[in-house]
């Protein structure tokens, strides 16, 4: 991984770690938080690349060696701008996110996989608001 990509991933992971328990934010808002407002899709890609906790740090590049993994970065708290859990190739990943949010008492419409952003959304001010 090149250094610019590693810095982007690290910024994403650090920003996502600030999302409080029981709240959600959007890929777009994370992008604003790291001063990259035009890169919400890359935020999603960064979260997709989070290694599993059992993966050795050496195989995950700089993100893994800094202690970032799917147990230490609450990836499940980031959803799309419509308040929905994003569709994935593997629907099990959508269900994992649903269950993690439910464990935090975030109500998710089970049919739409949608969260009420006015109730559970966390959107701290950024320079882009």
CATH (domain of 45)? 1.10.10.10
- Rounded to the nearest integer, the mean pLDDT of the chain is 91
- Mean pLDDT check: name the lowest of 32-41, 59-68, 106-115: 59-68
Of 35, 11, 16, 12, nearest to 122 by C-alpha is 16
Domain that holds residue 43: 1-50+66-115
Examine residue 71 and state whether it is found in any structural domain, yes or no. Answer: yes
Q: Check pLDDT > 90 for residue 66.
A: no
Provide Rg for the chain, Cα atoms: 14
Q: Is 82 exposed, middle or buried (0-12, 13-18, 19+ CB in 10 A)?
A: exposed
Examine residue 128 and state whether it is found in any structural domain, yes or no. Answer: no
pTM for the model stands at: 0.89
- Specify whether the CB–CB gap between 42 and 31 falls below 8 A: yes
Percent of the chain with pLDDT strictly greater than 70: 90
């Amino acid at each position: 991984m090149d250094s610019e990509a590693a810095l982007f991933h690290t910024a994403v992971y650090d920003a996502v770690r600030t999302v409080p328990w029981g709240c959600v934010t959007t890929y777009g808002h994370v992008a604003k938080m790291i001063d990259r407002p035009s890169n919400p899709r890359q935020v999603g890609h960064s979260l997709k690349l989070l290694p599993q906790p059992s993966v050795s740090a050496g195989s995950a590049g700089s993100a893994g060696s800094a202690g970032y993994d799917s147990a230490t970065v609450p990836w499940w708290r980031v959803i799309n701008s419509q308040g929905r859990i994003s569709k994935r190739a593997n629907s099990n990943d959508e269900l994992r996110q649903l269950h993690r949010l439910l464990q935090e008492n975030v109500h998710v419409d089970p049919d739409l996989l949608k969260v009420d952003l006015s109730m559970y959304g966390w959107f701290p001010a950024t320079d882009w608001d």
